[in-house]
Amino acid sequence: AFFNNIDEAGLGPNNGNSPPFIEVPKSWPILSAEEAKFVVPAPMKIKVVQTSVPRPQPGATNTVMVLHELAKPRDTYRLERGLYDQPDKSERLHPATPPVLGPWKDQWPRNRLGLARWLVDPAHPLTARVTVNRLWQRYFGLGLVKTSENFGVQGELPSHPALLDWLATELVRRDWNLKAMHRLIVTSATYRQSSRIINPDDPENRLLARGPRKRLTPYAIRDAALFTSDLLNGKIGGRSVKPYMPPGIWRSISNASYKQDKGDKLYRRGMYTYWRRTVPPPTMMTFNAAAREICIVRNDHTTTPLQALTMMNNKTFVEAARFLGERMMKPRDQRPRQRVAEAFRRVTSRAPSKAELDLLMKDFRFYQKDFRKNAKAASQLLSVGERLRDPGLPAAQLAAYSLVANTILNLDEAIMQN
């Protein structure tokens, strides 16, 4: 009943945002006080299409969809078996909440604003606990309540109930300041422990006897590779971008073709990647990204050979390795061993051991010898990706450094949070 008072058309436009919506200026971060005030959306503009079915005029790319209350509340009824066209009009329903989850104060309006105030009321038993549990899951891989999507009777009990309660009360006490809660967790002695496994009987670390160890998100894996190679475009905001994708990937479900972006747009952060739900980016899906068909609170994490093959052969990661190789060669006064050690440190945030460095140098010498004999193979490797290489660097040596960089980017420490 809280959400049955929304002004909506019932039939969306062919493309674009559905009304009601508001226009957003490009200079969003520097809005004036007058611009920042909420404005009631203009009435819906209706146009008639060929089938004579009224459809709303879609919003442009500079609009944001909003919820807009009707001036007169809409009547709400129970739907027989959930069918929208079979309401039981014998009894009207009114907005209400389960009393077991906290009382409803008389001063709250019976609308979405009142519902929001009820949710963040300090007496609410779930909102703060669910929030801090998801923050904990973000850093430790699993929440204090493992089933972070289900706090009900079918969910698991918290591993540390007192800690969960304390974090929830801290969130409320700090006026729901999420930044403060992030700081509290990452500066705790629990989080700053070594992630070395000391108790094989607790593989999920439910006892919190060690620091967290989990794989980075698909977006972070890609961004980290681009960052270490100085390719990452740090621009904030803007439209979605279309990076490298397998050719013809959309043809199986649509007549539309995937038009890859060019230039710096190829290297924007993963969160800006254009996402089509029927054909999601395969690289992201390989690393267990949520398909976005439904809301996913807790992702599955798998380790498969396909992930290693993606890191070795995907165009994005090969190009990142190429430019990490170029970065290794830029200091002219360094020896090869120093260059490889510096690349290792840049990717893993630590210096390599002597044994690790010896193995990488052995690979480098093998690759360099091989590419000197096969200039065509070196040229093919250095042509992967849109960005051109530095022609002033020797091809065989650069190709060898690129493969060493590819090996470093594939290390467990490069894609794991320890």
Tell me how far apart the terminal alpha carbons of the chain are, to the nearest angstrom.
Answer: 46
Helices (H), 330-353: 336-348
Say how many C-beta atoms besides its own lie within 10 A of residue 138's C-beta.
15
Do the Cβ atoms of 228 and 320 come closer than 8 Å?
Answer: yes
DSSP-derived secondary structure letter, 241: B
What is the model's pLDDT at position 48? 46
The residue that leads in pLDDT, 46 or 99, is 99
Lowest mean pLDDT among 62-71, 244-253, 331-340: 62-71
**pLDDT tens across 307-318, in order?**
999 999 999 999
- Count, residues in the chain: 418
- Domain residue spans in the chain? 1-74, 76-120, 122-212, 313-417
Q: Which residues pair with 47 in a beta bridge?
A: 55
Q: What is the mean pLDDT of residues 67-76?
A: 83
Q: Are 298 and 397 in contact (CB under 8 A)?
A: no
Q: What is the DSSP string of 281-322?
A: -HHHHHTT---SSS--SS------HHHHHHHHH-HHHHHHHH
Euclidean distance between CA atoms 217 and 139, whole angstroms: 12
pLDDT (average), residues 224-232: 96
Q: How would you class 277 by CB atoms within 10 Å of its CB: exposed for 0-12, middle for 13-18, buried for 19 or more? A: exposed
CA distance 286 to 312: 13
Burial (CB count within 10 angstroms: exposed 0-12, middle 13-18, buried 19+), residue 330: exposed
Element (H, E) at 171: helix 161-173
Query: Rounded to an integer, what distance in angstroms lies between the CA atom of residue 29 and that of residue 156?
Result: 41
Q: Residue 285's pLDDT is what? A: 93
pLDDT bracket for residue 63 (50, 70, 90): confident
Q: Stretch 35-43: mean pLDDT, rounded?
A: 54
